[in-house]
Amino acid sequence: MSNQKLSVLLKIIIVIMALLGVGAYGVVLPWSLSTFVEQYPEFSYFYMPWLIFLLITALPLYAILALGWSVSCEMKKDMLFTKKNAKSLRFVAILLGGDAVFFFIGNIVYGLLNINHPGVAVAAFFFSVFVVLISAAVAILASMIDKASVIREENESII
């Protein structure tokens, strides 16, 4: 597959992810929280803290999508192995890892404040570990792209 096709594919995936994110965070999340509160009115004080907390976790994800868009633009120009892309991917890894840690800590804090279920906190732990593993994989990829960019630059300076 050519770089141009890959770039277009990546951009389509990013747009779909962004739209799904809007649907999930803008519609499904408030709806499911309000349904939960309607079913269990005694937990009505859960609504706002959880809505705000989960919306905050969405912000790094949109920053990641923006960085992904930037990488796909570079890919279109056949400039995949560059310091800029390595830096973008390193930032993606930091955002992803940071978001996972924030999500886990938030669940623990909410548990201590009695606005979380222990089962949810345990599930959040496993989910966070999974996301941290993905973050580590992205960091390794960033390191490889950084090294590849050095080789590319050296190769280009051999005439």
Partner 1 sequence: MIIINIDVMLAKRKMSVTELSEKVGITLVNMSVLKNGRAKGIKFSTLDAICKALVCQPADILEYREDT
Binding residues for partner 1 (CB under 8 A): 154, 157-159
Q: Angle at the Cα of 139 (from 92 to 13), degrees rounded to 5?
A: 45
Type of residue found at 68: G
Q: 39 vs 157, which CB is nearer to partner 1?
A: 157
User: Which is nearer to partner 1, 52 or 159 (by Cβ)?
Assistant: 159
Retrieve residue 116's tokens: 């979380």
Minimum separation from the CB atom of position 159 to partner 1 (A): 5
The Cα-based distances of 131 to 100, 127, 142 in angstroms read: 6, 6, 16
Give me the least distance between CB of 158 and partner 1, in Å please: 4
**Cβ 74 vs Cβ 84: under 8 Å:** yes
Q: Least CB distance from residue 65 to partner 1, whole Å?
A: 37
The single-letter DSSP state of residue 43 is G
Give 129 or 151: the residue with its C-beta nearer to partner 1: 151
Nearer to partner 1, 38 or 154 (CB): 154
